[in-house]
Every structure is written in C-alpha cells, then in structure tokens.
C-alpha cells in the first residue's frame, strides 16, 4: 500500500490544530514507555502496559466509559434546551488522523475557555452498509475512552435529533479549578 502525500490544505489544518499543543513533562523517575498511535498527531502518546513477570497476570486498568460516566441529568438538561451548548465542532471532511488531532485541539481550547458542554458532529455514516462509512462516528467513541481525552472529558452522550441525533454527541468537559466526580 502506498502512502499519499498530504495536501497543502491538510498541512495548514494540521498546523492550526496543533499550534497550541505543548508536550507533556517527563516523569522525574525516568522516561516513560510510550507507544505512538500512528503519525504524530500532537496528542500525548499512549502509555504501554508494563510487562508482568511470568506466571503473573497484569492488572488491567479500569477505564470508565465516557458514555456511562458522570451525571445523566446534564444530558437531559441540554436535550431540553435548559443548558446551553457552548461550542460546536463538525468532523465532516476529516480523515481519522486529522479528525482525532482536530478534536483534541478543539476540546483543549473549549476547556481553556471554560466551556462546559460542546456538540461534536461526526455524521451518521451510510445506512446502506457500505464498508468504511461512519468510521469517524465509531472512532469518536474509541478516542474519548483514551487517557489523553479522558483527562478533559466528564461524560459524552448521543445528541437529541434537533442537534444531529445519531450523528452528533454532547461532550461535557471538566472545568479548570475543580475536580469533577465521574460516577
């Protein structure tokens, strides 16, 4: 499989998406083992699981699903129009790589601005069963489960039909200065 070159428009989008991203500080105890998740995306790389000695089963990290964490009452308030959506981001036209990077940059910026609820539009994908359709919608759920995203997100929920229904999601962000209780 040959790799295609990115267009100048994609390169400009990439530079815009990562311009405010700063590298994480290294642990004073020594460098961490990191695993890249594809081309450099500006996202913190995921940590690899430590290798357990023979005969011992490694403990699996307990990750809470962002679609079951937090307070479901917040979803209802947004769906009913009693809580405002602070910003909207549309992933249409992105590839998986650019969508992930752009989404991460958007969430960081939204959190820095103090936004509590944002709407992410992924699109529904084709219902006719064509292969490869709806991939951003499926990957969106995977991305939100990653540690890099979980440190910024309290909860996510499917949007009301007037906000995009099955092709959009509410994302509730942690606010600076206080710890959120993820139930």
Does the residue 45 lie in any domain? no
- For 7-21, 49-63, 104-118, 162-176, which range has the lowest pLDDT when averaged over its residues? 49-63
Q: Which residue has the higher pLDDT, 79 or 182?
A: 79
**Domain count of the chain?**
1
Q: Who's near 73: CB < 8 A, 6+ residues apart?
A: none
pLDDT digits (tens, 9 = 90+) for 58-80: 554 455 566 666 667 776 777 77
* Residue numbers of the domain that contains 108: 72-173
- The CATH number that applies at residue 106 is 3.30.1370.110
What is the mean pLDDT of the segment spanning 130-143? 79
Does the residue 166 lie in any domain? yes
pLDDT digits (tens, 9 = 90+) for 32-68: 333 333 444 555 554 444 555 555 555 544 555 666 6
What is the mean pLDDT of the segment spanning 81-86? 82
Sign of the C-alpha dihedral, residues 153, 156, 162, 168? positive
What is the mean pLDDT of the segment spanning 7-29? 74
pTM, rounded to two decimals: 0.58
**Residue 39: per-residue pLDDT:** 45
**Residue 4: per-residue pLDDT:** 82
Does the residue 51 lie in any domain? no
């Amino acid at each position: 499989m040959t790799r295609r070159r990115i267009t100048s428009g994609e390169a400009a989008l990439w530079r815009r998406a990562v311009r405010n991203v700063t590298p994480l500080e290294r642990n004073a105890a020594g460098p961490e083992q990191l695993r890249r998740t594809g081309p450099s995306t500006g996202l913190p790389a995921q940590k690899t699981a430590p290798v357990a000695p023979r005969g011992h089963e490694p403990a699996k990290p307990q990750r809470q699903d962002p679609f079951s964490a937090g307070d479901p009452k917040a979803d209802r308030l947004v769906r009913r129009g009693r809580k405002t959506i602070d910003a909207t981001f549309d992933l249409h036209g992105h590839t998986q790589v650019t969508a992930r990077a752009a989404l991460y940059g958007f969430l960081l910026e939204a959190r820095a601005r103090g936004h509590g609820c944002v709407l992410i539009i992924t699109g529904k994908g084709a219902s006719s069963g064509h292969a490869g359709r709806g991939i951003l919608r499926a990957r969106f759920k995977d991305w939100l489960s990653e540690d890099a995203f979980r440190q910024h997100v309290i909860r996510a929920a499917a949007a009301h039909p007037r906000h995009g229904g099955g092709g959009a999601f509410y994302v509730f962000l942690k606010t600076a200065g206080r710890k959120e209780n993820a139930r």
